A and B are shown apart, each in its own frame.
Chain A
Amino acid sequence: MKKSAASFPFLIWVTLFTIIPLLLVLLFSFTEGNIQNIKEMKFTLENFKRFLQPNYISVLGRSAGLALISTIICFVLGYPMAMILSSMEPKKRNFWVLLFIVPMWMNFLLRTYAWMTLLGKQGLINGFLEFLGLPSLNLLYNNGAVILGMVYNFLPFMVLPIYTVLSKIDKSIIEAAEDLGSNRITVFRKIIFPLSIPGVVSGITMVFMPAVSTFVISRLLGGNRYMLIGNLIEQQFLTVYDWHFGSAISIIMMVMILIAMAFMERFDKDKEGGRIW
């Protein structure tokens, strides 16, 4: 018996539950008619044409925009944190890294829901402002709240890969640069940052991807007024039952993510981006 035959159950499983479902979505997106009967489906491009209407395009634009802003904020907040973590003594830093991961182990719906408690009209933040005699703010159900939810949920996905790459950088390279007279800014600009790019690339993809596709964060923190592409897909599958259009939107979103990933890949020359696990 060949040892590589051990992957046979896996191959069957992946074919049945990963490949075929994706092909079905692709099939649905180019057809119309009864979803349970292939013979009754007719080829059409109508689903994709329908997406070109201004209201759908604006949903796409808002999704991409909010995801992009969240990714940038995660990067700006996360990079220094990854540097701080990687500069700690090895003994201490395992603990602090673990402490960074721990929140992810609490149900993300609950954590997001807890933000409603903090941001709401009678929430803790407004209560605090009131206590100080300041006017209360409208913090919930707007783009800001959605961005906050995204940054909150996905920040660890930015910090951890960058941290992993930074902590593997050979310290003697940095010392050598310092010996040769570089100041700290030059060391960062010419050595640390370029060497950390694989981590940055995987961090950016790991934040951007779930941010573009989320429908929960926008539902809870954005109220029902702020639709993202994820909400649109969910609506088509579970409320409107137009699976053909829903599939077309899914395909459009996947293509968008693939383009973003291919774009990021160009910066990752070594193709060895740090992963969380």
Chain B
Amino acid sequence: MVEKWIKRFYAFLLYLFLYAPIIVLIVYSFNSSKSRGSWDGFTLKWYVELFKDRQIMKALYYTVLVAFFSSAIATVIGTLAAIGIHNAGHFKKKILLNLNYVPVLNPDIVTGVALMSLFVFVGKQLGLVTMLLAHITFNIPYVVLSVLPKLKQLNKHLAEAAMDLGATPFYAFRKVVLPEIMPGIISGALIAFTMSIDDFVISFFTTGSGVSNLSITIFSMARRGINPKINALSTLMFLSVLILLLMINKRSSLEIKGKDDVA
């Protein structure tokens, strides 16, 4: 059983490595000293001050706003795209799929500077709108990739049967196809939402002065030293994402039932 012990120890070390900085952040959000070096005792004051901080609250507002709208719009375009791709002929399908992969495979920084170039080239002022357009752009592929597998599982004849029974194509889509692919659409939307919340690089290049999301705020703070308020905020966000994630996991484990792969 030495081997089992080694395996466990190895896994423990790697998880420790992954979680160490997160634990540090969470612990320091309760530290009454402002400096990172010393521990002065437990406090909740950073959580209180967090909500009074105009700059952080504004950044949080922009983050959520952009995440909400970009994931919603990307979900609509991406779902339609997935349906189109699924029904396209072999050659067209290949082209569309490859186009879909471009933003996924392109390094963030290139996507960022390319979009920035476009906006400046056409004379569009950088700001909330350009950041939103950029987020929709990098979100669409993830929606397409999570809806497509659901369409593949779909029984082709279901919609036909509905139409034989007198449903219009749109009615058949809404009542038969849509509910079947809904799990894929929802997980696509959730992935898009989290991608958008987490993005820094592309937002950094596509937003203008006055509009910054949390990542940009954190980046600009990092050189001066991050305020413990940010630690408090990230603790709260981490917990909400964790809850969201457990919900998705429960969903997919209900869906999968007997099957044992998550990925």
Q: Which residues of A contact B (CB under 8 A)?
A: 1-11, 13-14, 17-22, 24-25, 28, 35-36, 77, 80-81, 84, 90-91, 93-94, 96-118, 120, 122-124, 127, 152, 155-156, 160, 163-164, 167-168, 209-210, 212-216, 220, 230, 233-234, 237-238, 243, 246-247, 250, 253-254, 257, 261, 274-277
Also in contact, A10 and B118, with CB within 8 A (given A107-B214, A115-B21): no
Residue contact A84 to B10, C-beta cutoff 8 Å: yes
- Min CB distance A228 to B, Å, is 10
Q: Which of A101, A105, A124 has the most CB of B within 10 A?
A: A105
Residue contact A274 to B263, C-beta cutoff 8 Å: yes
Which of these, A3, A80, A105, A209, contacts B238 with CB under 8 Å?
A105
- Min CB distance B177 to A, Å, is 10
Q: Which residue of A lies closest to B92 (CB)?
A: A4
Residue contact B198 to A81, C-beta cutoff 8 Å: no
Contacts of A101 in B (CB 8 A): 245
Which of these, A9, A13, A25, A108, contacts B200 with CB under 8 Å?
A108
Whether B211 is near chain A, meaning CB under 8 Å from some CB there, is no
Residue contact B18 to A4, C-beta cutoff 8 Å: no
Residue contact B230 to A110, C-beta cutoff 8 Å: yes
Contacts between chains A and B (CB distance < 8 A), count: 242
Complex CA gap A78/B21 in Å reads 19
Q: A81-B11, A84-B7, A167-B261 are in contact. List 5 more A-B contacts (CB 8 A).
A: A2-B87, A13-B140, A17-B136, A21-B117, A253-B110
Whether B15 is near chain A, meaning CB under 8 Å from some CB there, is yes
- 15 contacting pairs across A/B (C-beta < 8 A): A6-B87, A9-B81, A17-B136, A19-B99, A19-B102, A25-B117, A35-B121, A36-B120, A81-B11, A94-B260, A98-B262, A106-B238, A114-B25, A156-B18, A254-B110
Number of residues from B at the complex interface, CB < 8 A: 85
- Min CB distance B183 to A, Å, is 13
Residue contact A94 to B137, C-beta cutoff 8 Å: no
Which of these, A1, A10, A110, A254, contacts B234 with CB under 8 Å?
A110
- Min CB distance B147 to A, Å, is 11
From 129 to 158 in chain B, residues with beta carbon under 8 angstroms from any chain A beta carbon are 133-134, 136-137, 140, 142, 144-146
Contacts of B136 in A (CB 8 A): 13, 17
Contacts of A274 in B (CB 8 A): 263
Q: Which residue of A lies closest to B205 (CB)?
A: A237
Whether B55 is near chain A, meaning CB under 8 Å from some CB there, is no
Complex CA gap A118/B19 in Å reads 12
Residue contact B117 to A9, C-beta cutoff 8 Å: no
Whether B241 is near chain A, meaning CB under 8 Å from some CB there, is yes
